Structure 1
Protein backbone atom coordinates (compact mmCIF):
# COMPACT_ATOMS: atom_id res chain seq x y z
CA UNK A 1 0.00 0.00 0.00
CA UNK A 2 1.28 3.46 -0.81
CA UNK A 3 -0.10 6.94 -1.27
CA UNK A 4 -2.38 7.19 -4.31
CA UNK A 5 -0.86 8.28 -7.62
CA UNK A 6 -2.57 9.53 -10.80
CA UNK A 7 -3.00 6.17 -12.50
CA UNK A 8 -4.20 4.36 -9.34
CA UNK A 9 -7.80 3.00 -9.43
CA UNK A 10 -10.46 4.90 -7.53
CA UNK A 11 -11.42 4.02 -3.96
CA UNK A 12 -14.22 1.61 -4.87
CA UNK A 13 -11.96 -0.33 -7.23
CA UNK A 14 -9.11 -0.43 -4.70
CA UNK A 15 -11.49 -1.85 -2.11
CA UNK A 16 -12.62 -4.52 -4.57
CA UNK A 17 -9.03 -5.44 -5.42
CA UNK A 18 -7.83 -5.64 -1.82
CA UNK A 19 -10.85 -6.85 0.13
CA UNK A 20 -13.09 -9.07 -2.02
CA UNK A 21 -12.50 -12.79 -2.62
CA UNK A 22 -13.25 -12.84 -6.40
CA UNK A 23 -10.47 -10.31 -6.99
CA UNK A 24 -8.05 -12.40 -4.91
CA UNK A 25 -9.05 -15.55 -6.84
CA UNK A 26 -8.20 -13.69 -10.04
CA UNK A 27 -4.88 -12.51 -8.64
CA UNK A 28 -3.84 -15.96 -7.46
CA UNK A 29 -4.98 -17.63 -10.69
CA UNK A 30 -2.88 -15.24 -12.78
CA UNK A 31 0.44 -16.66 -11.50
CA UNK A 32 1.84 -19.96 -10.27
CA UNK A 33 2.80 -18.28 -7.00
CA UNK A 34 2.38 -14.69 -5.82
CA UNK A 35 4.15 -14.99 -2.45
CA UNK A 36 7.61 -16.33 -1.68
CA UNK A 37 6.41 -19.43 0.16
CA UNK A 38 8.79 -18.59 3.01
CA UNK A 39 7.67 -17.98 6.57
CA UNK A 40 7.17 -14.36 7.57
CA UNK A 41 10.22 -13.29 9.60
CA UNK A 42 8.34 -12.09 12.67
CA UNK A 43 6.49 -15.39 12.97
CA UNK A 44 9.75 -17.34 12.75
CA UNK A 45 11.26 -15.12 15.45
CA UNK A 46 8.31 -15.26 17.82
CA UNK A 47 7.25 -18.90 17.43
CA UNK A 48 10.66 -20.27 18.34
CA UNK A 49 9.90 -19.55 22.00
CA UNK A 50 6.56 -21.40 21.93
CA UNK A 51 5.88 -25.08 22.49
CA UNK A 52 4.09 -26.53 19.44
CA UNK A 53 0.36 -27.05 19.84
CA UNK A 54 -2.70 -25.99 17.86
CA UNK A 55 -2.29 -22.90 15.65
CA UNK A 56 -4.71 -20.77 13.67
CA UNK A 57 -3.26 -18.86 10.69
CA UNK A 58 -5.64 -16.06 9.71
CA UNK A 59 -5.56 -15.02 6.07
CA UNK A 60 -3.32 -17.96 5.24
CA UNK A 61 -2.93 -17.24 1.53
CA UNK A 62 -0.77 -19.82 -0.25
CA UNK A 63 0.13 -21.38 3.08
CA UNK A 64 3.71 -20.26 3.68
CA UNK A 65 3.29 -19.52 7.40
CA UNK A 66 0.95 -22.42 8.14
CA UNK A 67 3.19 -24.93 6.37
CA UNK A 68 6.25 -23.65 8.22
CA UNK A 69 4.42 -24.00 11.54
CA UNK A 70 3.45 -27.55 10.59
CA UNK A 71 7.09 -28.41 9.89
CA UNK A 72 7.86 -27.18 13.42
CA UNK A 73 5.36 -29.63 14.93
CA UNK A 74 2.20 -27.52 15.08
CA UNK A 75 -1.27 -28.69 14.06
CA UNK A 76 -2.48 -25.79 11.91
CA UNK A 77 -5.79 -24.50 10.61
CA UNK A 78 -5.54 -21.87 7.86
CA UNK A 79 -8.43 -19.46 7.32
CA UNK A 80 -8.63 -18.03 3.80
CA UNK A 81 -11.48 -16.68 1.66
CA UNK A 82 -9.81 -17.28 -1.71
CA UNK A 83 -10.61 -20.72 -3.10
CA UNK A 84 -7.59 -20.62 -5.40
CA UNK A 85 -5.28 -19.83 -2.48
CA UNK A 86 -6.72 -22.62 -0.33
CA UNK A 87 -6.29 -25.19 -3.08
CA UNK A 88 -2.73 -24.01 -3.71
CA UNK A 89 -1.89 -24.11 0.00
CA UNK A 90 -3.22 -27.66 0.28
CA UNK A 91 -1.03 -28.73 -2.64
CA UNK A 92 2.04 -27.03 -1.16
CA UNK A 93 1.38 -28.75 2.17
CA UNK A 94 1.15 -32.13 0.45
CA UNK A 95 4.36 -31.43 -1.47
CA UNK A 96 6.08 -30.57 1.82
CA UNK A 97 4.75 -33.66 3.57
CA UNK A 98 2.69 -31.84 6.19
CA UNK A 99 -0.81 -32.26 4.75
CA UNK A 100 -1.67 -34.38 7.79
CA UNK A 101 -0.91 -31.40 10.06
CA UNK A 102 -2.74 -28.72 8.06
CA UNK A 103 -6.40 -27.94 7.44
CA UNK A 104 -7.65 -25.19 5.12
CA UNK A 105 -11.00 -23.56 5.83
CA UNK A 106 -13.11 -21.21 3.75
CA UNK A 107 -13.64 -18.18 5.97
CA UNK A 108 -14.05 -14.44 5.55
CA UNK A 109 -12.25 -13.05 8.59
CA UNK A 110 -14.30 -9.86 8.39
CA UNK A 111 -17.29 -11.77 9.76
CA UNK A 112 -15.72 -14.98 11.13
CA UNK A 113 -16.44 -15.98 14.73
CA UNK A 114 -14.32 -18.53 16.62
CA UNK A 115 -17.19 -20.42 18.21
CA UNK A 116 -16.01 -22.89 20.87
CA UNK A 117 -12.64 -23.71 19.28
CA UNK A 118 -9.45 -22.41 20.89
CA UNK A 119 -5.86 -22.38 19.68
CA UNK A 120 -2.48 -22.13 21.41
CA UNK A 121 -1.33 -19.66 18.75
CA UNK A 122 -3.48 -17.33 16.70
CA UNK A 123 -1.41 -15.52 14.10
CA UNK A 124 -2.31 -12.98 11.42
CA UNK A 125 0.21 -11.41 9.07
CA UNK A 126 -0.54 -8.43 6.82
CA UNK A 127 -4.31 -8.65 7.11
CA UNK A 128 -5.56 -5.08 6.67
CA UNK A 129 -9.02 -3.56 6.74
CA UNK A 130 -10.56 -0.24 5.73
CA UNK A 131 -12.68 2.06 7.87
CA UNK A 132 -10.95 1.23 11.16
CA UNK A 133 -12.45 -2.28 11.19
CA UNK A 134 -9.29 -4.13 12.22
CA UNK A 135 -9.66 -3.70 15.99
CA UNK A 136 -12.98 -5.57 15.83
CA UNK A 137 -11.27 -8.39 13.91
CA UNK A 138 -8.49 -8.52 16.50
CA UNK A 139 -11.05 -8.66 19.30
CA UNK A 140 -12.58 -11.77 17.71
CA UNK A 141 -9.18 -13.33 17.06
CA UNK A 142 -8.32 -12.79 20.71
CA UNK A 143 -11.42 -14.76 21.59
CA UNK A 144 -9.94 -17.77 19.79
CA UNK A 145 -6.79 -17.90 21.96
CA UNK A 146 -6.62 -20.70 24.52
CA UNK A 147 -5.58 -20.00 28.13
CA UNK A 148 -1.81 -19.58 28.16
CA UNK A 149 -1.86 -19.15 24.38
CA UNK A 150 -0.43 -16.40 22.19
CA UNK A 151 -1.95 -13.85 19.85
CA UNK A 152 0.42 -12.49 17.19
CA UNK A 153 -0.75 -9.77 14.78
CA UNK A 154 1.69 -8.25 12.28
CA UNK A 155 0.98 -5.66 9.61
CA UNK A 156 2.33 -2.87 7.46
CA UNK A 157 3.18 0.15 9.60
CA UNK A 158 2.31 3.69 8.38
CA UNK A 159 6.04 4.37 8.18
CA UNK A 160 6.00 2.20 5.04
CA UNK A 161 4.21 4.94 3.11
CA UNK A 162 7.59 6.47 2.37
CA UNK A 163 8.79 3.34 0.57
CA UNK A 164 6.37 3.64 -2.36
CA UNK A 165 5.48 -0.04 -1.92
CA UNK A 166 2.07 0.33 -0.28
CA UNK A 167 -0.99 1.10 -2.40
CA UNK A 168 -4.37 2.23 -1.16
CA UNK A 169 -5.71 4.48 1.55
CA UNK A 170 -3.02 5.28 4.16
CA UNK A 171 -5.58 4.60 6.90
CA UNK A 172 -5.52 0.91 5.92
CA UNK A 173 -2.10 0.68 7.60
CA UNK A 174 -1.87 0.47 11.38
CA UNK A 175 0.37 0.67 14.42
CA UNK A 176 0.44 -2.00 17.09
CA UNK A 177 -0.68 0.58 19.63
CA UNK A 178 -3.95 1.07 17.73
CA UNK A 179 -4.85 -2.58 18.33
CA UNK A 180 -4.21 -2.71 22.07
CA UNK A 181 -7.71 -1.43 23.03
CA UNK A 182 -9.17 -4.51 21.29
CA UNK A 183 -7.70 -6.73 24.03
CA UNK A 184 -9.18 -7.20 27.48
CA UNK A 185 -6.38 -6.11 29.85
CA UNK A 186 -7.62 -8.55 32.48
CA UNK A 187 -7.38 -11.45 30.02
CA UNK A 188 -4.18 -10.61 28.11
CA UNK A 189 -0.63 -9.72 29.02
CA UNK A 190 1.09 -7.59 26.39
CA UNK A 191 4.47 -9.04 25.39
CA UNK A 192 5.29 -6.85 22.38
CA UNK A 193 3.75 -3.62 21.06
CA UNK A 194 6.38 -2.55 18.57
CA UNK A 195 7.43 -1.15 15.21
CA UNK A 196 10.17 -3.41 13.81
CA UNK A 197 12.25 -2.64 10.75
CA UNK A 198 13.46 -5.21 8.24
CA UNK A 199 15.01 -5.24 4.79
CA UNK A 200 12.91 -6.87 2.10
CA UNK A 201 12.30 -6.97 -1.65
CA UNK A 202 10.63 -3.90 -3.16
CA UNK A 203 7.81 -4.59 -5.66
CA UNK A 204 9.53 -2.39 -8.24
CA UNK A 205 12.90 -4.12 -7.82
CA UNK A 206 15.79 -4.03 -5.41
CA UNK A 207 15.30 -3.90 -1.66
CA UNK A 208 13.99 -1.39 0.87
CA UNK A 209 13.69 -0.99 4.61
CA UNK A 210 10.16 -1.76 5.78
CA UNK A 211 8.48 -1.33 9.15
CA UNK A 212 6.16 -3.94 10.62
CA UNK A 213 3.60 -3.26 13.33
CA UNK A 214 3.93 -6.14 15.81
CA UNK A 215 1.44 -7.01 18.55
CA UNK A 216 2.09 -10.08 20.69
CA UNK A 217 -0.03 -10.90 23.72
CA UNK A 218 -0.49 -13.92 25.97
CA UNK A 219 -3.84 -14.98 27.38
CA UNK A 220 -3.59 -15.35 31.14
Structure 2
Protein backbone atom coordinates (compact mmCIF):
# COMPACT_ATOMS: atom_id res chain seq x y z
CA UNK A 1 0.00 0.00 0.00
CA UNK A 2 2.82 2.42 0.86
CA UNK A 3 5.90 3.34 -1.11
CA UNK A 4 8.48 1.80 1.20
CA UNK A 5 10.37 5.10 1.13
CA UNK A 6 11.05 7.07 4.30
CA UNK A 7 8.94 10.11 5.07
CA UNK A 8 10.62 13.27 3.76
CA UNK A 9 10.36 14.97 7.16
CA UNK A 10 12.19 12.05 8.79
CA UNK A 11 15.02 12.35 6.28
CA UNK A 12 15.19 16.16 6.62
CA UNK A 13 15.17 16.12 10.42
CA UNK A 14 17.39 13.10 11.11
CA UNK A 15 19.96 12.89 8.31
CA UNK A 16 22.64 14.61 10.41
CA UNK A 17 22.15 12.62 13.63
CA UNK A 18 24.86 10.22 14.72
CA UNK A 19 23.44 6.67 14.62
CA UNK A 20 22.60 4.90 17.85
CA UNK A 21 19.54 3.00 19.03
CA UNK A 22 16.18 3.94 17.51
CA UNK A 23 12.53 3.07 18.09
CA UNK A 24 10.01 3.63 15.28
CA UNK A 25 6.45 3.68 16.64
CA UNK A 26 3.72 2.81 14.16
CA UNK A 27 6.30 1.61 11.65
CA UNK A 28 3.80 0.29 9.12
CA UNK A 29 5.62 -1.26 6.19
CA UNK A 30 8.91 0.07 7.49
CA UNK A 31 10.03 2.94 5.25
CA UNK A 32 11.43 5.03 8.11
CA UNK A 33 12.86 2.05 10.03
CA UNK A 34 14.59 0.70 6.92
CA UNK A 35 16.08 4.10 6.13
CA UNK A 36 17.41 4.43 9.68
CA UNK A 37 18.83 0.89 9.66
CA UNK A 38 20.50 1.58 6.33
CA UNK A 39 22.24 4.57 7.93
CA UNK A 40 23.68 2.48 10.76
CA UNK A 41 20.98 2.79 13.43
CA UNK A 42 20.09 -0.23 15.60
CA UNK A 43 16.33 -0.10 15.03
CA UNK A 44 13.38 -1.55 16.88
CA UNK A 45 10.15 -0.97 14.96
CA UNK A 46 6.63 -1.58 16.25
CA UNK A 47 3.20 -1.70 14.66
CA UNK A 48 -0.21 -3.26 15.30
CA UNK A 49 -0.50 -4.78 11.82
CA UNK A 50 1.04 -8.23 11.36
CA UNK A 51 0.65 -7.81 7.58
CA UNK A 52 2.56 -4.52 7.54
CA UNK A 53 5.32 -5.97 9.71
CA UNK A 54 5.61 -9.01 7.45
CA UNK A 55 5.99 -6.75 4.41
CA UNK A 56 8.54 -4.64 6.29
CA UNK A 57 10.55 -7.73 7.25
CA UNK A 58 10.54 -8.88 3.61
CA UNK A 59 11.79 -5.45 2.50
CA UNK A 60 14.52 -5.54 5.17
CA UNK A 61 15.68 -8.95 3.93
CA UNK A 62 15.80 -7.68 0.34
CA UNK A 63 17.84 -4.65 1.42
CA UNK A 64 19.99 -6.78 3.74
CA UNK A 65 19.39 -4.56 6.77
CA UNK A 66 18.50 -5.69 10.26
CA UNK A 67 15.48 -4.36 12.16
CA UNK A 68 13.86 -5.82 15.28
CA UNK A 69 10.18 -5.92 14.18
CA UNK A 70 7.62 -6.11 17.00
CA UNK A 71 3.86 -6.40 16.96
CA UNK A 72 2.86 -4.15 19.86
CA UNK A 73 -0.16 -2.08 20.83
CA UNK A 74 1.64 0.99 22.11
CA UNK A 75 -1.58 2.45 23.46
CA UNK A 76 -1.65 -0.44 25.97
CA UNK A 77 1.88 -1.80 26.17
CA UNK A 78 4.97 0.09 27.27
CA UNK A 79 7.66 1.07 24.79
CA UNK A 80 10.18 -1.79 25.03
CA UNK A 81 13.32 -0.03 26.26
CA UNK A 82 15.11 3.30 26.11
CA UNK A 83 16.50 4.76 22.88
CA UNK A 84 18.72 7.49 21.45
CA UNK A 85 15.94 8.26 18.96
CA UNK A 86 12.20 7.71 19.14
CA UNK A 87 10.16 8.55 16.07
CA UNK A 88 6.51 8.34 15.07
CA UNK A 89 5.03 9.43 11.77
CA UNK A 90 1.32 9.89 11.12
CA UNK A 91 -0.10 7.92 14.02
CA UNK A 92 -3.89 8.29 13.84
CA UNK A 93 -5.32 8.23 17.33
CA UNK A 94 -8.04 10.15 19.13
CA UNK A 95 -6.75 12.96 21.35
CA UNK A 96 -6.86 11.18 24.72
CA UNK A 97 -5.14 8.00 23.50
CA UNK A 98 -2.63 10.01 21.46
CA UNK A 99 -1.63 12.13 24.47
CA UNK A 100 -0.88 9.04 26.55
CA UNK A 101 1.04 7.43 23.70
CA UNK A 102 3.14 10.53 23.00
CA UNK A 103 3.98 10.73 26.72
CA UNK A 104 5.12 7.08 26.61
CA UNK A 105 7.23 7.78 23.54
CA UNK A 106 8.89 10.77 25.19
CA UNK A 107 9.60 8.71 28.30
CA UNK A 108 11.42 6.13 26.13
CA UNK A 109 13.98 8.69 24.93
CA UNK A 110 17.33 8.30 26.68
CA UNK A 111 19.05 11.36 28.18
CA UNK A 112 20.57 13.33 25.30
CA UNK A 113 18.29 11.51 22.84
CA UNK A 114 15.88 12.84 20.22
CA UNK A 115 12.11 12.61 19.81
CA UNK A 116 10.60 13.21 16.35
CA UNK A 117 6.84 13.15 15.90
CA UNK A 118 5.20 14.01 12.58
CA UNK A 119 1.45 14.16 12.01
CA UNK A 120 -1.38 15.61 10.00
CA UNK A 121 -2.08 19.22 10.86
CA UNK A 122 -5.76 19.89 11.66
CA UNK A 123 -5.91 22.58 8.96
CA UNK A 124 -5.93 19.80 6.35
CA UNK A 125 -9.55 18.89 7.07
CA UNK A 126 -10.57 20.83 3.94
CA UNK A 127 -7.47 20.12 1.82
CA UNK A 128 -9.11 17.78 -0.71
CA UNK A 129 -7.10 14.79 0.55
CA UNK A 130 -9.05 12.10 2.36
CA UNK A 131 -8.12 12.13 6.02
CA UNK A 132 -9.81 10.51 8.96
CA UNK A 133 -11.56 12.95 11.27
CA UNK A 134 -8.82 15.55 11.72
CA UNK A 135 -10.86 17.36 14.34
CA UNK A 136 -10.05 14.43 16.60
CA UNK A 137 -6.75 13.05 15.28
CA UNK A 138 -4.99 16.18 14.03
CA UNK A 139 -2.65 18.13 16.28
CA UNK A 140 -0.26 21.05 16.12
CA UNK A 141 3.42 20.94 16.91
CA UNK A 142 2.91 23.79 19.35
CA UNK A 143 0.36 21.79 21.35
CA UNK A 144 2.68 18.80 21.48
CA UNK A 145 5.69 20.95 22.47
CA UNK A 146 3.70 22.40 25.36
CA UNK A 147 2.88 18.91 26.59
CA UNK A 148 6.52 17.92 27.02
CA UNK A 149 7.65 17.77 30.64
CA UNK A 150 10.62 19.78 31.91
CA UNK A 151 14.02 18.59 30.74
CA UNK A 152 13.29 18.88 27.01
CA UNK A 153 14.65 21.31 24.42
CA UNK A 154 12.49 21.86 21.33
CA UNK A 155 14.59 21.88 18.15
CA UNK A 156 11.80 22.01 15.57
CA UNK A 157 8.22 23.08 16.15
CA UNK A 158 6.69 23.71 12.75
CA UNK A 159 3.89 23.33 10.25
CA UNK A 160 5.32 22.27 6.88
CA UNK A 161 3.50 22.32 3.57
CA UNK A 162 3.88 19.59 0.98
CA UNK A 163 2.11 18.56 -2.21
CA UNK A 164 -0.06 15.47 -2.35
CA UNK A 165 -2.71 14.15 -4.72
CA UNK A 166 -6.30 14.55 -3.57
CA UNK A 167 -9.19 12.13 -3.94
CA UNK A 168 -9.88 13.55 -7.40
CA UNK A 169 -6.25 13.06 -8.49
CA UNK A 170 -5.46 16.77 -8.52
CA UNK A 171 -2.45 18.11 -6.65
CA UNK A 172 -3.19 19.93 -3.43
CA UNK A 173 -1.21 21.35 -0.54
CA UNK A 174 -1.32 19.55 2.80
CA UNK A 175 0.43 20.37 6.05
CA UNK A 176 2.44 18.33 8.50
CA UNK A 177 2.85 19.11 12.18
CA UNK A 178 6.51 18.51 13.04
CA UNK A 179 8.01 18.31 16.51
CA UNK A 180 11.65 17.44 17.07
CA UNK A 181 13.02 17.78 20.59
CA UNK A 182 15.90 16.42 22.57
CA UNK A 183 16.05 15.35 26.17
CA UNK A 184 18.65 17.15 28.20
CA UNK A 185 21.53 14.97 29.38
Tell me if both proteins adopt one fold, taking TM over 0.5 as the criterion: yes
**In 1: Cα distance, 2:103 partner to 2:146 partner:** 9
TM-score of the aligned structures, taking structure 2 as reference length: 0.93
> What is aligned with 1:199?
163
SS of the equivalent of 2:99 reads helix
Query: Which is higher, the Rg of structure 1 or of structure 2?
Result: 1
1:114 aligns with 2:114: no
> What is aligned with 2:32?
65
Deviation at 1:164, TM superposition (A): 2.2
Structure 1 contact 150–217 (Cα < 8 Å) conserved: yes
TM-score of the aligned structures, taking structure 1 as reference length: 0.79
SS of the equivalent of 2:160 reads strand
Deviation at 1:114, TM superposition (A): 2.6
Q: Deviations over 1:57-100 (max 9, x none)?
A: 000000111001111111111111111111111001001110xx
Deviation at 1:183, TM superposition (A): 1.3
SS of the equivalent of 2:96 reads coil
Structure 1 contact 160–166 (Cα < 8 Å) conserved: no
**In 2: Cα distance, 1:179 partner to 1:166 partner:** 23
**In 2: Cα distance, 1:204 partner to 1:163 partner:** 12
Residue 201 and residue 53 in structure 1: after superposition, are their counterparts in 2 closer, same or farther (change >3 A)? farther
Query: What's the Cα RMSD here?
Result: 1.4
Number of equivalent positions: 183
1:146 aligns with 2:110: yes
